[in-house]
Amino acid sequence: MRILLDMNLSPRWVGVLGDAGIDAVHWSALGALNAADSEICDFARHHDFVILTQDLDFSAILSVTSRGKPSVVQIRADDLSPDQIGPKVIMALHRMSVELANGAILTVDPLRTRLRLLPLPERSGFAGGI
């Protein structure tokens, strides 16, 4: 599994994930700092990355496009530091690696993790988020 870290997460995540045996790269090392989420999503899909973010926009993109990839891992926590939520994210990445390889949205918060398989079912009147 290869993780693409969104701009809203610290580049420190690269080392923390690497120490856990997970290949990771921060978007700032690959593309424009002001790239649109749709550009990051397309890059991740074409290069077989899983996006790690705190942004709900990627879920909205996947819902509107009905695509099966890229997988997205959303961190929903007040403290996004890898020291605080990192162990829970790493555990979820390892446990859900098969689902993420096949296309999924994984939401990790301090109390639980939730998984939705892709592609998301079409819904009329989509208002964003999952």
Mean of pLDDT over the chain: 92
pLDDT of residue 125: 47
pLDDT of residue 66: 82
pLDDT digits (tens, 9 = 90+) for 87-118: 999 999 999 999 999 999 999 999 999 999 99
pLDDT digits (tens, 9 = 90+) for 30-44: 999 999 999 999 999
Check: CB of residue 44 under 8 Å from CB of residue 51: yes
Query: Residues near 116 by Cβ (< 8 Å), separated by ≥ 6?
Result: 104, 105, 130
Query: pTM of the prediction?
Result: 0.91
What does the pLDDT average to over 38-62? 95
Q: In sequence order, what E strands does the chain have?
A: 2-5, 23-26, 50-53, 72-75, 104-108, 113-117
Instruction: Show the domains of the chain with their CATH numbers.
Output: 2-117 (3.40.50)
